[in-house]
Chain A
Amino acid sequence: MLPEDTVFALVVLPLLGAAIALSSKAFFTGKRKRNLEYLGAFVGLVLPWVVMIQLLPLVLTGQAIEGIIGGWHESVGISFRFDGLAWLVNLLGFTIAGAAWLYSLGPGPHGPHFTAVFLIQTSALAATAMTADLFNLFVCLEVMGIASYILIASSEKQGAFLASFSYLMVSATAMVFFLLGIYGIYRTTGALTYTGIINGLSGLPDHGGVVTYISLSLIVGAVAIRVAVMPLYGWLPDSHALAPHAVSSVLSGVLIKTPLFALSRVLLLVPAGMYAGQLMGYAGAITALVAVIIALSQSDAKRLLAYHTVSQIGYVVAAWGAALYVGTHTLQGSILMAGAFLHALYHAMFKGLLFLSIGTTTDCASQRNVYQLRGAARLLKQAGERIPITTITFVVGALAISAIPPFNGFASKTTLSYGLKDSWQYSMLYAAGIGTMASFIKLSRIYWSKPEQQNRFPVPVPNANKIAQTFLAILCLGTGIFAGPMYRFVVTLFAFGAPNGPAPVLYSTQTLMNTLILITGGTAVFLLASTRIGHNILKIIRERPRDFQGLFVAFSLGVTGLSGWLLFWG
């Protein structure tokens, strides 16, 4: 089999697994149905690893597998490109999807339909990573989106349908504008593949002028809604907080970042892309700080984690935007892009771990309010955990997100900060780091002291949860300890052609001093927030009115602003 075909196995194997899972529901019952469903999950989540390992030597040498699907002519067909970036995004997707599916075998929605839609979502992630065609990117984003709406709606919590529906509406509107952007680009260049677009644009006077800038800003704006940068984040807290726990971890971990990296392929090729990246980078830095302040005020545990997702995405977007602006062929650019991807990967691991641990804890205690839940560690012990696995995994996740060595969050945040030295974005990200520390001290309070009501009967913790959480915790620790080799691995796979410079030093006096300041600053902010005045300020922030039309006004203003920026600088 040619390498071109094995590349598509990454997309087709999960689809085959979904087809098997669906047939199991239609044809069989009972034990045979369950076995067939597990066979489908195996085909879809384990077999692709065989393909990934087989493809690794090829992408390590910097080569890319390119071609047209079906072998048609390049002016009309769909082209694909599987290189190091695609391999890395697939690594991210399959790791988190595997752990989350294992967790879903516990309480919460599961079954053949759930597995089938979950596998379809995974296959859409793989397809988004390796497409080199604008319209195919649109279709893959749509498939990813619709699978996630259904998965969110399958949760049995109050308000899940409304959250899923509002996400659906926001996303569908964004995709309409994405389609208009594709129209603009096709109108001027006559091609939809990335190489065709570049050839077409270079043949036009002024690289297409106003029409190209407007189309680009429509496309970037639509992806920005999907990626939830300020001020387009309004749909995220409800959907991620009310989804089932396994689905929350995949949504926060993978679905938020994949459109970003797929977009970077386009922006790296188009001349005006660096300015679009610059503006997105500024938006990302502001997102990181503002979202952390809102996160500090939340009372629902999962909603707090969802706002933290917005903040951490701000980190990734800030670094990604700066990387596009300075150019990834420079040393600083390659550090920034590698740092952005590493932070995306590590964030998926520790945020996934946090969602799963908090999910288990809140299910066990039947209480989600962080101001009222206390003594969860003791409740978990009563529920049958002899070794306090969930408490330990929560602590691992909290330390990782607050960037404490030796966990992986420290490695990626230090790499990012190294690339963004001496800029105002660096100070914003540093302040956001202090806020993160403070809010996780607040969240960890649910584990201390005694449980309030002694007569609450704790729900037992199933084994699937423990296995999934432990797996992710070990990954967090492992990637943190082996941070240096991970960095070199990512840079080799990206193959930017940047000069070979030294990797950012992780354990110097400077960085350890920064960590110490972070810890003290975080504790100080937490103590400040627990005072009377702090409490009242946070209450005002928490209960600010949010509505739907604000999101659309922000979107229209954002797109107009981006076109104006591109016109001005381009």
Chain B
Amino acid sequence: MRSKITGLFLFQVFLCLVTITLVLIPLFWTDIPWPTIARDHMENFGMAASGARNMVSAIYLGYRVFDTLGETIVLLVAVSGTIGIIAHGGDVLAKGFGDPSRNESLYQEKTTLVKKQRTALLEVVTGKLGPVVLVFGFYVMLFGHLSPGGGFQGGVVVASGIVFLALGGRADGSTRLTEAGVLAKLESISFLLLILASLSGVVFGGGFFANTLAQAGMPEVGFIVLLNAIIGLKVGAGIGFMCIAMLGRAE
């Protein structure tokens, strides 16, 4: 094992675990009955108010859509930051860790030494599976109000599909979906669309994040489908962009 594990370290770990367990046990072993307010309300009024059969979608895209906006922003910032750090390259990485023994040449030598280890098996399989995964991703995204799924889930599957396409040797230009520029544009457009969707309620009366499509006469669930599509595009483009950038750097 490591030489850094001393008696003091083990004692500190032990102390932390014991005190936290002491604090958390009464939290989980209590006799107070489980609350049913939200459950009863969702059972009786949930589907009528939001129009979706999947109650989870109704909650995070209807009742609590502001939290979803927050989480989408967290993903956007994480992707943006990662791209920024990767783009700076090896010298910033070395300086950023404050360790003078990791000099720039280490990073450069690594990237030139790594040979393309892809075999034909990997390229053929991922190249053929890529479009299938993309279709599945779009299905999960758009049917989120009826079956388990939704914007985030579908978006991540779409991002995996984009990675498959990139790995599958289609960098010869047969698809534009694996270019970094296209993905960046998609991501910023969908973020703008999300903000505009939240503001549409303000402009057309009804308040912030109100269901404008319902006011225009469409079924209520239309707003949930729209939000699913926008979030799915955003998440897919964002994560895909980050993966393409890392793929380019690690090669």
Tell me if A78 and B67 are in contact (CB < 8 A). yes
Other-chain residue from B63, B92, B198 in contact with A77 (beta carbon distance below 8 A) = B63
- Asked if A557 CB lies within 8 Å of chain B CBs, one says yes
With a CB–CB cut-off of 8 A, which chain A residues contact B192? 19-20, 23
- Alpha-carbon distance between A186 and B45 when the two chains are bound, in angstroms: 21
Tell me if A556 and B210 are in contact (CB < 8 A). no
Q: How many CB-defined contacts (below 8 Å) exist between A and B? A: 208
- Alpha-carbon distance between A22 and B59 when the two chains are bound, in angstroms: 29
Within 8 A of B (CB), among A197-213: 200, 204, 208, 210-211
- Asked if B184 CB lies within 8 Å of chain A CBs, one says yes
Write the nearest CB–CB distance from B17 to chain A, whole angstroms: 8
Given the contacts A70-B62, A76-B59, A147-B77, A153 and B96 also touching, CB distance less than 8 Å: yes
- Asked if A521 CB lies within 8 Å of chain B CBs, one says no
Tell me if A76 and B42 are in contact (CB < 8 A). yes
Tell me if A12 and B198 are in contact (CB < 8 A). yes
Interface centre among B30, B93, B188 (most CB of A within 10 A): B188
Given the contacts A12-B195, A23-B189, A187-B32, A76 and B63 also touching, CB distance less than 8 Å: yes
Given the contacts A139-B71, A560-B23, A187 and B30 also touching, CB distance less than 8 Å: yes
Given the contacts A71-B206, A73-B49, A200 and B26 also touching, CB distance less than 8 Å: no
Tell me if B13 and A549 are in contact (CB < 8 A). yes
Tell me if B65 and A70 are in contact (CB < 8 A). yes
Contact bitstring B74-97, A, C-beta under 8 A = 1, else 0: 101110110111000000110111
Contact bitstring B199-211, A, C-beta under 8 A = 1, else 0: 1011000111111
Q: Which residue from chain A places its CB closest to the CB of B198 in the assembled complex?
A: A12
Tell me if B20 and A189 are in contact (CB < 8 A). no
Other-chain residue from A5, A22, A136, A161 in contact with B191 (beta carbon distance below 8 A) = A22
- Asked if B121 CB lies within 8 Å of chain A CBs, one says no
Within 8 A of B (CB), among A1-51: 1-2, 4-5, 8-9, 12, 15-16, 18-20, 22-23, 25-27
Number of interface residues of A (CB under 8 A): 80
Other-chain residue from A18, A69, A158 in contact with B208 (beta carbon distance below 8 A) = A69
Tell me if A113 and B36 are in contact (CB < 8 A). no
Q: Which residue from chain B places its CB closest to the CB of A70 in the assembled complex?
A: B209
Tell me if B38 and A75 are in contact (CB < 8 A). yes
Within 8 A of B (CB), among A110-168: 113, 116-117, 120, 124, 127, 135-136, 139-140, 142-143, 146-147, 149-150, 153-154, 156-162
Within 8 A of B (CB), among A176-195: 180, 183-184, 186-191
Contact bitstring A413-432, B, C-beta under 8 A = 1, else 0: 00000000000000000000
Write the nearest CB–CB distance from A75 to chain B, whole angstroms: 5
Write the nearest CB–CB distance from A278 to chain B, whole angstroms: 20
- Asked if B12 CB lies within 8 Å of chain A CBs, one says yes
Q: Which residue from chain B places its CB closest to the CB of A550 in the assembled complex?
A: B12
- Asked if A448 CB lies within 8 Å of chain B CBs, one says no
Within 8 A of B (CB), among A511-570: 549-550, 552-553, 556-557, 559-560, 563
- Asked if A324 CB lies within 8 Å of chain B CBs, one says no
Other-chain residue from B26, B81, B191, B209 in contact with A150 (beta carbon distance below 8 A) = B81
With a CB–CB cut-off of 8 A, which chain B residues contact A218? 23
Other-chain residue from B49, B67, B74 in contact with A146 (beta carbon distance below 8 A) = B74
- Asked if A390 CB lies within 8 Å of chain B CBs, one says no
Tell me if B185 and A557 are in contact (CB < 8 A). no
- Alpha-carbon distance between A77 and B37 when the two chains are bound, in angstroms: 12
- Asked if A249 CB lies within 8 Å of chain B CBs, one says no
Interface residues of B (CB under 8 A from A): 9, 12-13, 15-16, 19-20, 22-24, 26-27, 30, 32, 34-38, 41-42, 45, 49, 59, 62-67, 70-71, 73-74, 76-78, 80-81, 83-85, 92-93, 95-98, 181, 184-185, 187-189, 191-192, 195, 198-199, 201-202, 206-211
